[in-house]
A and B are shown apart, each in its own frame.
Chain A
Amino acid sequence: MDHETFARILDDAGRQGLSRRSFLRLGAAGAGGLLLTPATARAAARLKSPARIVIAGAGAAGLAAASHLAARLDGASITLIDARKEHFYQPGFTLVASGIKPLSYVVSTTREYLPGGVELIEEAVAEFDPEGNKLVTASGKAVPYDFLVVATGLKLDYAAIAGMDVEQIGNNGLGSIYHSPAKAEATWRAMSNFADNGGVGVFLRPDTEMKCAGAPLKYTFVTDDYLRRRGNRGKAELVYNANNKVLFSVPIVHEKVRMLFEDRGVKMNYERVLQSIDPGRKLAVFRTPVGPVELQYDFINVIPPMRAPDPVRNSPLRWMEGAWANDGWIEVDKHNLRHKRFANIFAVGDVAGVPKGKTAASVKWQVPVAVDHLLATIEGKESTAHYGGYTSCPLITRLGQAMLVEFDYRDNLVPSFPGVIAPLEELWISWVMKTMALKPTYVSMLRGRA
């Protein structure tokens, strides 16, 4: 089997599945090639370098970066820094909050994905010092580096919503799927209870950049479906509150979701941002162009504003001006993830100040590009690797169906399986990918194998 064919097959596999054409190609290439080709024959020669590389954050992006770097470097010191011992499979939070998967589905440990030869410091980063080429951990330990990859993820700023109490999630109709696996499960109980009784269901998204902008929509659809399945849709009103004038940043997807919401009888409000909440009285107050608007709810899915973690936000790494300066996202080139002012620093994953993608799919495509540029710098070469903003969102539209929406920086749809899986069609096959293929692909990504 020639390498180009193989690369294409792998490429397809990486996009969470396998097109029929590739499948046939694979079949044709078959037993003769695939299983007999020695893995090592294709492995790129490892680059010898004593470089000290520090990766801040051991979530999806940090672990994937560590795996890629460890596989391609020989003699380098690679250090991951993260205080959290658990690893969360965040794309599964919606499934937990939908009663589809158990809590254990999304919780594992960082250590089980730690590549050999990579050191893990189980501490939080307290301070970045890009001028001094070092960072300082919570215990005050200075960690110097030649190259830094920032993958700290983001901060869920619940405190920015007056009256919000995360301890109350799961009680009294208060849901919030993002907080943690346990709160995602608690949200499921609250939502299920709502689906049994009906009332007013309030959905929203924050007025900041956010991870997986499809999740608030998915959860609205899933709630609608549970109400229907339990025969209580007539007893419920569902209200979706968009922060701006659209439901989704990609115009063609916005239109499709608008049509689906209309079809399902979901009421849409635009330019409404949750400002405060009174969990005891079940009252939410939204900021709107015409002043505060109160909404009484029986169930609400609170999604807090999202910002860069404080140590990043308070560092010179952040955007200094523009829309992202205040929230502290890191100022990187959106096509190669390299910092615009500090050439030895890269940012990948949620904390990167690039449009759109704060998803695992973004991570999957960002990390190899950033790593390639980093390695090219070590070698004194130029990399041609380019990230075009590809990200994807299996947008669940009812239990058992999803739209496999894939797009890029330019708001183009970039379907992995054109002609087979239509991006704006509600399909079971897209649901199957979400529930069956996504996590294995994600875990392979953590291990640097996909």
Chain B
Amino acid sequence: MKELDPLVFLVVFQEMLGPLLWLMIAVIVVGTAAFVALLLKERTINSKRLVRAEFAGLLGGVLALVLMARVSSSGFTDAGGPADWFLIALVFGLGLAGTAILVYTVLGWRRPAKS
């Protein structure tokens, strides 16, 4: 396996997600950049906006789990061991964090905080 192309990872994920992969990468890159730019611009974290973003994040976590269950043809009673709870927590966590950051960023740029 030593002679593999380093992009094999990307290849497997591309096979799995198709064009959706590039969309996801674009959202992650643009979203993160906009988030960092917002933080740099405001030099503070707006707590009211953060709380809103976190609420949206909860929904995002649930959505991530629903999506995962759909694409893997799973039900909601399938967890069987610690590794499963870890995976569920990971998927939920990624959905939560991703949505929260995105919502915080979008709100921040659309309605700048009055200082």
Interface 9-mer from A4-12, A239-247, A296-304, A325-333 = A4-12
Which residues on A sit within 8 Å (CB–CB) of B77?
A: 400
B87 engages A429 (CB within 8 Å): yes
Q: Which B-chain residue is minimally distant from A40 (CB atoms)?
A: B5
CB distance from B102 to the nearest CB of A (A): 19
Which chain A residues in 12-65 approach chain B with CB under 8 Å?
Answer: 13-14, 20, 26, 34, 37, 39, 42-44
| Interface: B80 (CB within 8 A) | yes
Which chain B residues in 75-101 approach chain A with CB under 8 Å?
Answer: 75, 77-81, 83-84, 86-87
A436 engages B16 (CB within 8 Å): yes
Q: Which of A43, A425, A437 contacts B5 (CB 8 A)?
A: A43
CB distance from A45 to the nearest CB of B (A): 10
Interface 9-mer from A260-268, A270-278, A284-292, A440-448 = A440-448
A10 engages B16 (CB within 8 Å): no
Q: A420-B83, A426-B80, A428-B78 are in contact. Are A436 and B5 (CB under 8 A)?
A: no
Which residues on A sit within 8 Å (CB–CB) of B4?
A: 7, 10, 14, 42, 449-450
Q: Which of B12, B75, B81 contacts A13 (CB 8 A)?
A: B12
| Interface: B71 (CB within 8 A) | yes
CB distance from B90 to the nearest CB of A (A): 9
Which residues on B sit within 8 Å (CB–CB) of A26?
A: 9
Which residues on B sit within 8 Å (CB–CB) of A43?
A: 3, 5
Bitwise interface map of B from 1 to 41 toward A, beta carbon under 8 Å scored 1, else 0: 11111111101111110000000000000000000000000
| Interface: B73 (CB within 8 A) | yes
The interface size bin for chain B is: 20 to 34
Which residues on A sit within 8 Å (CB–CB) of B11?
A: 444, 447, 449-450
A9 to B12, CA, bound (A): 13
Which chain A residues in 353-385 approach chain B with CB under 8 Å?
Answer: 368
Q: A39-B5, A43-B5, A368-B1 are in contact. Are A428 and B80 (CB under 8 A)?
A: yes
A443 engages B6 (CB within 8 Å): no
Which residues on A sit within 8 Å (CB–CB) of B7?
A: 39, 449
| Interface: A126 (CB within 8 A) | no
A427 engages B6 (CB within 8 Å): no
| Interface: B115 (CB within 8 A) | no
Q: A400-B77, A432-B87 are in contact. Are A444 and B12 (CB under 8 A)?
A: yes
| Interface: B74 (CB within 8 A) | yes
Q: A429-B87, A435-B73, A447-B11 are in contact. Are A44 and B3 (CB under 8 A)?
A: yes
Q: A6-B6, A444-B15 are in contact. Are A400 and B81 (CB under 8 A)?
A: no
Q: Which A-chain residue is minimally distant from B87 (CB atoms)?
A: A429
A399 to B4, CA, bound (A): 34
| Interface: B44 (CB within 8 A) | no
Q: Which of A400, A421, A441 contacts B83 (CB 8 A)?
A: A421
B15 engages A427 (CB within 8 Å): no
A-B contact number at CB 8 A: 112
| Interface: A142 (CB within 8 A) | no
| Interface: B72 (CB within 8 A) | yes
A64 to B8, CA, bound (A): 14
CB distance from A71 to the nearest CB of B (A): 8
CB distance from A212 to the nearest CB of B (A): 19
A6 to B1, CA, bound (A): 11
B87 engages A10 (CB within 8 Å): no
CB distance from A260 to the nearest CB of B (A): 12
Q: Which of B1, B6, B78 contacts A14 (CB 8 A)?
A: B1
CB distance from A402 to the nearest CB of B (A): 9
B80 engages A449 (CB within 8 Å): no
B72 engages A432 (CB within 8 Å): yes
B1 engages A435 (CB within 8 Å): no
Which residues on B sit within 8 Å (CB–CB) of A436?
A: 16, 71-72
| Interface: A422 (CB within 8 A) | yes
Which residues on B sit within 8 Å (CB–CB) of A14?
A: 1, 4, 8
| Interface: A232 (CB within 8 A) | no
B83 engages A37 (CB within 8 Å): no
Q: Which A-chain residue is minimally distant from B76 (CB atoms)?
A: A400
CB distance from B36 to the nearest CB of A (A): 13
Name 22 interchain pairs, CB-CB below 8 A, sorted by A.
Answer: A20-B86, A37-B6, A39-B5, A43-B5, A72-B3, A368-B1, A401-B78, A422-B83, A425-B81, A428-B80, A428-B84, A429-B87, A431-B74, A432-B72, A436-B71, A440-B13, A440-B16, A444-B8, A444-B12, A449-B7, A450-B8, A450-B11
Query: 15 new A-B pairs (CB below 8 Å) besides A10-B1, A432-B68?
Result: A10-B4, A13-B9, A44-B3, A399-B73, A417-B83, A422-B81, A425-B81, A426-B80, A427-B83, A429-B83, A429-B86, A439-B16, A444-B8, A444-B15, A449-B4
- List residues of chain A with CB under 8 Å of any chain B CB: 6-7, 9-11, 13-14, 20, 26, 34, 37, 39, 42-44, 72, 95, 100-101, 368, 399-401, 417, 420-422, 425-429, 431-432, 435-437, 439-441, 443-444, 447, 449-450
- List residues of chain B with CB under 8 Å of any chain A CB: 1-9, 11-16, 68, 71-75, 77-81, 83-84, 86-87
User: 3 closest A-B pairs (Cβ-Cβ)?
Assistant: A400-B78, A440-B15, A440-B16
